[in-house]
Structure formats: C-alpha cells, structure tokens
Amino acid sequence: MGDPNSTSLFRLGVLGSGEGSNFGAIVGACQNGTLPATVAVVLSDVEEAAISQRAHEAGVACSHIAPGKFRTKLDEAAEAAYIKALNDAKVDLVVLAGFMRILKGEFLRAFEGRVVNVHPSLLPAFPGLEAWKQALDHGVKVTGATVHFVDQGVDNGAIIAQETVPVLDDDTPEVLHERIQGAEHRIYPETIGAIARGEIALRGRRTVRTGR
C-alpha cells in the first residue's frame, strides 16, 4: 500500500517548510491503507527542514527548491520549478502541510481546484500566522483546525472539513498548538481520502460530501 511508483493510486505532492507532522500523519495513513493514495513527492522551500528528514525515512522522494528573492511567496523561476516538479511526479492533488509561502497566479492556474491546505484555526477566524496564538490572545474558548481548498486569498478558499478544539485556562501557545495539531492529524488524512474517492463536490463557496 502507498507505493510512490504506483500509477493507479491517487498521487499526492506535499509542500512543507517545517516539522512535517501533518506529512507524517498523511504518509502513515497511506502506508496503513486508511488513505487510498500515495505521496509521490515532497517539496520544501527550507533547506534541511525536518519534513525532508521524515520524507527520507518514509522512502518518499523529496527535493529542496529555493523560493527565490521574496520572503512570503515564490519568485517566478521558483514557481515554475515547483510546477514542473509536481507535474513530473504526476500528482493529482497538491497538499500544503505547513508550507509557509503564499501560492498564487500561475501556480493555482496550473493546479486549479487541486490544492488543499490545513490551517490551525476555525476559519474564517484567525487567518495568517500563529493562529493558535491569535486564538489565545483574543480569548476564544473554542478553536480548531480547518482543511480548505486554496484560492487567491490568504486562508480563504472553500472549507472542506473542520474539527473543534477547546481552549483551556492554563493553555500556553505551545500546548494549544499541540492540541490543534492532534485535530489536524485526524481531519487532514481523512479529508484527502474523501477527495481521492471523489466524494467532495464544490457548490459555490460550499463543499458537500457525496457517496456517504
């Protein structure tokens, strides 16, 4: 199960910049057969990010592609290199897993409707960076995790799945982020599985689940 050379399985291209715990949950679900997909390639904008080590350990092809001159997005050459690497790996779905750069224009046109992201809040609350810290600072009692399609806006695309997480009185940013990540690791592989099985339909801004 989860053979990266399989041509029959739904093929994922994972982009990440950091720890790679969501990649770990996804590749684990591919390997144990609960997610009917294979991770064909991992790409990172950060040299020697932990996600690259995890990919290596999981036997998944992984490349570092330098992002170019900008701080928050890819420059033109980098964007083209990411598109080529994902096309060469014949990916069906681009999975952002802690990829800390905004994707736009050419990239989204190349994979229209085929890019998903996980975000550590109940969107549309707390888009952007360190959403768990934003939740603590704002004083909400409930936050969570969201899986959504990626569009031109920041953390704005159609929502596919959400799980709530309580905010407890003694929470530190780290403890709350860890609790949210537990939810991410449940809903991200499950949602990707639903997409792979063709069970997610888009109706305007809403997604609906078919086939269950």
In 3D space, the residue among 158, 171, 46, 37 whose CA is nearest the CA of residue 101 turns out to be 46
Using CB under 6 A, pick the residue from 2, 13, 20, 189 that binds ligand GAR. Answer: 20
Question: What is the spatial distance between Cα 188 and Cα 54, in angstroms, rounded to a whole number?
Answer: 17
Using CB under 6 A, pick the residue from 98, 144, 157, 193 that binds ligand GAR. Answer: 98
- Count residues contacting ligand GAR (CB under 6 A)? 16
Alpha-carbon dihedral sign for residues 102, 105, 108, 112: positive
Q: DSSP code of 28?
A: H
In 3D space, the residue among 70, 123, 122, 137 whose CA is nearest the CA of residue 100 turns out to be 70
Task: Find out whether 136 and 176 touch, Cβ atoms under 8 Å.
Answer: yes
Using CB under 6 A, pick the residue from 39, 41, 62, 184 that binds ligand GAR. Answer: 184
Q: Which is nearer to ligand GAR, 130 or 199 (CB)?
A: 130
Task: Find out whether 148 and 117 touch, Cβ atoms under 8 Å.
Answer: yes
Residues 114-153, one symbol each (x = binds ligand GAR by CB under 6 A, - = not), give ----xxx----------x----------------------
157 counts as binding ligand GAR under rule CB under 6 A? no
119 is catalytic: yes
- Give the residue numbers marked as catalytic: 119
Residues that bind ligand GAR (CB under 6 A): 16, 18-22, 51, 97-98, 118-120, 131, 155, 181, 184
